[in-house]
Chain A
């Protein structure tokens, strides 16, 4: 590894640490839709007076649904703050009564009080289950003792939830299944479409943020833990592309037929993740007569055909070291070759002359340098010697890879 490469890696992780120190994820707006809280209230002052949370939020300890309204109503406030509706300016007979505007900013007598809007969260939550296990309110509503009016910022994000919801193996025996907290559909996948928006992974759990280009690079996550993806997607969703017979219009954009060969040679995106080259690609190429025809029929691209696909000198034995020769091109990207050719094409020249599959005319050695005696030779000969016998005779000492 060069010094420049090391420096790049170090810089990346320094940036990571700097980012980690500065970023803090707020709760999702899809899970907790934006609220309107036209109130003046100080949680800090109330908690500083050692007032228990359930003194005001009296329904919270027994609540079993996130749809429950747990915000204290006026009667609860009036327990300590006498309210005189007849004298909203607080100048009435009750000396301790506060003006309405002290809690309802902008209050004007005779006009409707601005309403609190607190949409139902799009998740399952059982306050009772948490309270009964001794989870203090501040564990989930962290920082509420330091703020004036608590808001969405004091609601938990998923990172906090997962601190305890760890597959039932922690002290609290809390399950980590998505459906424990998330709303599910009838088929047990997660509901992701809400009036407040589409629920997408933030990337803070698995680095799988569903960004604009996630469709082109989701493989790393999916191949690592398929079950994780299946929490939201059913297999038919994956299969609609990965066993595709219908072109995804965005993935294979306009005029893709004309230019697909370039992508195939670059293997970007990876053709093999949706199309097998020796069935899908080869099948279509054979149908259209753009293969060499050795094993199917005499097409225009057959060796004695009327048209040429590859440039001059492509199969000239005397020019095997030239970059325009098929040997070099095959080394660079053998996968591309197999989308038009079968093994028999290669065997025509590359097979040893003495073996049972000895159709080879020239016995041109296709092995990489140092193959005989290499670990690769031994591994293959130990596990599948029959493929070696396509070119080599059973008595050929080279079958033993130098052992």
Chain B
């Protein structure tokens, strides 16, 4: 009898576990309207409608007796889609076709931003994702269709490996925002390398070794390679070529119970034989309320392997940045300064350097500061900034705030606002200089958790425009249903104040 009862209980529990999962559906509709000035000084109306649709399924896997997902062998699905439509006008310039060949701004475009099945802690040591996925690391912010696996070893080390096809704008329903700069799609002259490689598949793979579970040290060494096969090979051309090949190393430490946290990042571009990114810094907590951060960044421009710009002389820049921040009860503030120094790399045919008479200085810099006071039903914030040197001058002040009129922050009526003054002067195109006064206002109303409507408007006045109105309307719907009860998910929101 007892055995029969145990068997019945086991069947009952296992069937519950098999059915149990949580899912969320979210939809976000964004409408924007604004005007831009075209090349012939006419104003072009932009009317953009963007629709996001997301589906997430969580916690498909075994659960404990209380219905909570166990730590191991959990599967999940994440999908994010976007449809974008340009309903406005195009510049009606002489001989301009009207529709740009750029894939980013098609009149109507559907993007599958990501869609993958994930597994967490399989057999206690493997995480994996299969499908279109996004990754951010020292290499870049990139996307690929394929498989990524992370295997954790018992000795504080994990091995990562990933491979698939690079998302480059050439595949169905992808977003060209992940295509490396240097080889603009569309408009390439017939038979040019750009035209022949425009729709080429780009196999990519990478591996990494990193520490895990260490409180005081994190480090990761990684390698990435992306290539493509040559289409319609011309004399002398190889059957394939590398588009991207890099190694990167990052490290972060923690000393004195976290009061000193230094970090370091290094990226070497094997494709062009050049160190193209270096960063190092440290944050020092001076007291529970005050901290100081110092950072050094080196960056040199590199492009897709098929781009001629990799062989051009180009200056790297070196930034030194210092930030102070403080939290004094409900008041938070920061002050930040930076200095930038460009490294000369003259070409054979030009020879001009920063020392050439009349050349803009290799040195530039600037600073910013801000303070925010959190109040019971909102906050007030002030920011100021000034930058000079290469590129031009910009300086301004922003006053912004948010106020909860009704309800709570997730289901209520919220007002936002910002007043800005900015002075700017382009150092190359001297006509681009003005003082500009701007107003932003927003109202957000959550009917209940998960259904939010928002309207934001921006109006600017400067010597180029007596009025420059921008309107943004947003409707956000999120719905969650799962084994732990139904509820509404947290909406995303765009607001003038932060």
- Interface set, chain A 126-144, CB cutoff 8 A to B: none
Once the chains bind, are A342 and B184 in contact (CB under 8 Å)?
yes
Cβ-defined contact, B114 with A259, below 8 A:
no
Question: Do the beta carbons of B263 and A262 come within 8 Å of each other?
Answer: no
How far apart are the CA atoms of A390 and B304 in the complex, in Å?
A: 14
Can you name 15 A-B pairs with beta carbons within 8 Å?
Answer: A19-B287, A22-B287, A167-B156, A213-B336, A236-B26, A246-B50, A250-B400, A254-B422, A255-B462, A311-B429, A331-B313, A331-B350, A368-B314, A384-B306, A386-B306
Closest A residue, CB atoms, query B197: A386
Q: Are A205 and B496 in contact (CB under 8 A)?
A: no
Chain B nearest CB, measured from A225 CB (Å) = 6
B492 with A237: CB separation less than 8 A: yes
Nearest chain-B residue to A343 (Cβ)?
A: B308
Q: How far is the CA of A12 from the CA of B34 in the complex (A)?
A: 47
Closest to B352 in A: A328
Q: Does A321 contact B (CB under 8 A)?
A: yes
**Interface segment, one of B1-9, B10-18, B293-301:** B293-301
A79 at the interface (CB under 8 A from B): no
Which 10 residue pairs across A and B have the least CB separation, nearest first? A167-B213, A254-B438, A394-B236, A379-B273, A204-B258, A283-B102, A207-B261, A289-B39, A20-B256, A323-B359
Contacts A301-B39, A323-B356, A328-B350 given; does A338 touch B95 at CB 8 Å: no
Q: Which residue of A lies closest to B80 (CB)?
A: A236
Cβ of A376 within 8 Å of any chain B Cβ, yes or no, is: yes
Q: Is A67 engaged at the interface, CB distance under 8 Å to the other chain?
A: no
Q: By the criterion CB–CB under 8 Å, are A224 and B252 in contact? A: yes
Given contacts A202-B258, A379-B270, 5 further A-B contacts (CB under 8 A): A16-B284, A262-B426, A278-B182, A278-B184, A346-B312
Flag if B288 contacts A299 (CB, 8 Å). no
Q: A275: nearest residue on chain B (CB-CB)?
A: B177
- Which of B178, B301, B306 has the most A CB atoms < 10 Å from its CB? B301
Contact across chains for B314 and A334 when beta carbons are under 8 A apart: yes
Evaluate contact between A383 and B189: CB separation under 8 angstroms: no
CB distance from B305 to the nearest CB of A (A): 4
Measured in the bound complex, the distance between the Cα atoms of B426 and A263 in whole Å is 10
- Stretch in contact with the other chain, from A46-54, A84-92, A103-111, A215-223: A215-223
Q: Indicate if A55 sits at the interface (CB-CB under 8 A).
A: no
Most buried by B among A26, A203, A238: A203
Whether A289 contacts B138 in the complex (CB less than 8 A), given A261-B429, A323-B352, comes out as no
Residue among A202, A222, A343, A369 facing the most chain B CB atoms (10 A cut-off): A343
- Which chain A residue lies CB-closest to B487? A186
Q: Does A45 contact B (CB under 8 A)?
A: no
Hey, which chain B residues are within 8 Å of A76, CB to CB? none
Give Cα distance in the complex from A125 to B286, angstroms: 30
B315 touches A333 (CB 8 A): yes
Beyond A331-B350, A371-B348, whether A226 also contacts B273 by CB under 8 A is: no
Contact B241 A15 (CB under 8 A): no
Contact of B250 among A202, A224, A384, A387 (CB under 8 A): A224
Task: Please provide the chain A residues from 188 to 235 with a CB less than 8 Å away from any CB of chain B in the complex.
Answer: 188, 193, 202-207, 209, 211-213, 215, 217, 220, 222-226, 234-235
User: Is residue B281 within 8 Å, beta carbon to beta carbon, of the partner chain?
Assistant: yes
The A-contacting residues of B in range 303-334, CB under 8 angstroms, are 303, 305-315, 317, 321, 323, 325, 327, 332-334
Q: A204's contact among B181, B285, B440, B498, by CB below 8 Å, is which?
A: B285
Q: Residue B411 at the A interface, CB < 8 A?
A: no
B345 at the interface (CB under 8 A from A): yes
Flag if B420 contacts A24 (CB, 8 Å).
Answer: no
Q: How far is the CA of A388 from the CA of B311 in the complex (A)?
A: 9
Residues of B within 8 A of A56 (CB): none
Which chain A residues border B38 with CB–CB below 8 Å? 288-290
A353 to chain B: which residues have CB within 8 Å? none
Is there contact, CB below 8 Å, between B350 and A338?
no
* B372 partner residues in chain A, CB cutoff 8 A: 212
Q: Provide the residues of chain A in CB contact with B439, threshold 8 Å.
A: 254
In angstroms, Cα B351 to Cα A347, docked, is 20
Q: Does A273 contact B (CB under 8 A)?
A: yes
Report Cα–Cα, A32/B364, bound state, in Å.
45
